[in-house]
Amino acid sequence: MTKFTRGNLVSQREVYQGRIIDLVVDDIEVNGFETVREVVRHPGGVVVLAEVEPDRIPFVRQHRYPLNKDLLELPAGKLDSGEPPEISAARELEEETGYQARSIRHICSFYSSPGFCDELLHFYYTDDVSKSEMQTEIDEEIELEFYSLDESLAMIDSGEILDGKTITAILWLDRNRRKLE
């Protein structure tokens, strides 16, 4: 149940079914007016903040095609079909950094862009890892870098980190660290 009017569906077009996303465009009627709702469907994803040693956090630098830019981000990826987010988080961490999580903790989940997209991101934290092997996919070219929390915060302030989920996760760790002090 929602409190607000969703509107009445007038017609629906399945515009695109793709590799990562689908696009559906709905004509709806809300409060007597006709309008359009563009919906990008996404399987959801994970982002992982790992402290592989005390205050040593792995990041990946990679090319982001939609931006034509290289971005520095925490390890992340989309959910494989039917895969529980916790398994996905451990898998992405191991593939992208070569560290295997012995245990991993769900911190929170959030929508990346709820105005037009249903992508839900699940944020995980671990400081309980062992060394394994990096296994990047064939069309995935990434570089592994390590930073402390203070270095990460400085890169948010300077604009070097431009990825929303990464900023959220680093600010969470900062808050959590301060709470424990």
What type of residue is 167? I
CB of 102 to its own copies, least distance (A): 25
In angstroms, rounded to a whole number, what is the distance separating the alpha carbons of residues 91 and 47?
Answer: 11
Based on the residue annotation, tell me whether 73 is a catalytic residue of this protein: no
By C-beta, is 98 or 164 nearer to its own copies? Answer: 164
Burial of 83 (0-12, 13-18, 19+ CB in 10 A): middle
Nearest to 74 by CA among 15, 177, 156, 139: 156
Contact criterion met (CB below 8 Å) for 114 and 41: no
The active-site residue out of 29, 34, 53, 140 is 140
Nearest to 33 by CA among 10, 63, 1, 58: 10
CB of 68 to its own copies, least distance (A): 7
Question: How many residues appear in the chain?
Answer: 181
Q: Residues 6 or more apart from 67 whose CB is under 8 A from it?
A: none
By C-beta, is 99 or 123 nearer to its own copies? Answer: 123
Show which residues are catalytic.
Answer: 140
